[in-house]
Amino acid sequence: MPVADHARYCEMLDRARNGKFAYPAINVTSLTTANAVLTGLAESKSDGIIQISTGGAAFASGASVKDMALGAISIAEHVHRVAERYPVYVAMHTDHCQADKLDKYVIPLVEETERRRAAGKPNLFNSHMFDGSALTLKENLDIAIKLLERFRKNDLILEIEAGVVGGEEDGIKASAAAKLYTTPEDTLEVARRLNEVRGARYLLAATFGNVHGVYKPGHVKLKPSILKDCQDAVVKKYGEAARFYLVFHGGSGSELHDIHEAVDYGVVKMNIDTDTQYAFTRAIAEHFFKNYDGVLKVDGEVGNKKAYDPRSYLGFAETALAERVKQAVKDLRATGTTMVK
């Protein structure tokens, strides 16, 4: 199917919240990882979201170019071309963009969207995240409102974050004193300010102890009930129409009961990076360990071209990543939910 357009993406999000399931949003950094996500979604008969972080996008543009906007556009153009061959809908999203990176990432991507729309072409992206969680909530929302007004004109959905996701992603490490649990008061303020931009849509990453990365059991204390408290508060004050569409960051390594509870409270998108990174690399490691004298030229031998051809191990990695995506879809109760008839 073609990449979801704005109307279809909105419908995807509505269906998820009403149906109490969520879409996996998988970080990709290459053609191979993007193809793997499409395969995993297609085999699960689930629509889903492909996302690109600032670091992933810079990587995709090439080590000597390191242009994050260019890399994101490049992956998105690829997905738009190949998505047609998969019987599900996928939406394109960009992950965490801190305020100091907006001018290098989200803004050039919005400008690209504006150019494309002026030329009568479809958007490459459906949504972008602005991560102002390191700022005060007021500063965060001041920037978010400006973005949201521009996004509305371009059929783009904004994702913002209130509270801080712990751990480390893309080399950005949350401080130990960071506010890992969003409060209902914070989210009421989000609704009060952002809902003034009539007709715009946004997703809220409200944090409930989420941590990027995977840790041994016991290190992460998720409190999904915080999400319910936030939803109850916003519906009480502003009515049912203000109910949030929530995003679960740091989904990797989470326990199933926490995932299900969060989805019950309105999570429609769960970000997964670490677990899919591991699945991808594990398959490569297995190939290298099993074929040590094939991938390397040992003791004057010549190795085995079939074993060191990158297509061999990247093919295994693609399959392994697709399998992990299928697991994520299942965990999020999305199997079989595609809108494709």
Shorter beta-carbon distance to Zn ion: residue 96 or 201: 96
Shorter beta-carbon distance to Zn ion: residue 71 or 167: 167
- Which residue shows structure tokens 């094939």? 294
Is 269 a residue that touches Zn ion (CB under 5 A)?
no
Contact region with Zn ion (CB under 5 A), list: 61-69, 170-178, 241-249, 297-305: 241-249
**CA–CA gap between residue 339 and residue 20 (Å, rounded):** 15
Active-site positions? 95
Q: Out of 17, 249, 269, 333, which residue is the one contacting Zn ion (CB under 5 A)?
A: 249
CB 323 within 8 A of CB 40: yes
Contact region with Zn ion (CB under 5 A), list: 19-27, 66-74, 157-165, 233-241: 157-165
Residues with Cβ within 8 Å of residue 277, at least 6 apart in sequence: 27
CB 40 within 8 A of CB 329: yes
To Zn ion, the closest distance from the beta carbon of 163 in angstroms equals 11
Beta bridge partners of 204: 160, 246
Size of the site for Zn ion (CB under 5 A): 2
**CA–CA gap between residue 45 and residue 330 (Å, rounded):** 10
Q: Is the dihedral of CA 104, 82, 41, 315 positive or negative?
A: negative
Contact region with Zn ion (CB under 5 A), list: 16-24, 68-76, 149-157, 164-172: 164-172
Shorter beta-carbon distance to Zn ion: residue 46 or 274: 274
Shorter beta-carbon distance to Zn ion: residue 33 or 337: 33
Q: Which residue is nearest to Zn ion (CB)?
A: 249
**CA–CA gap between residue 11 and residue 4 (Å, rounded):** 10
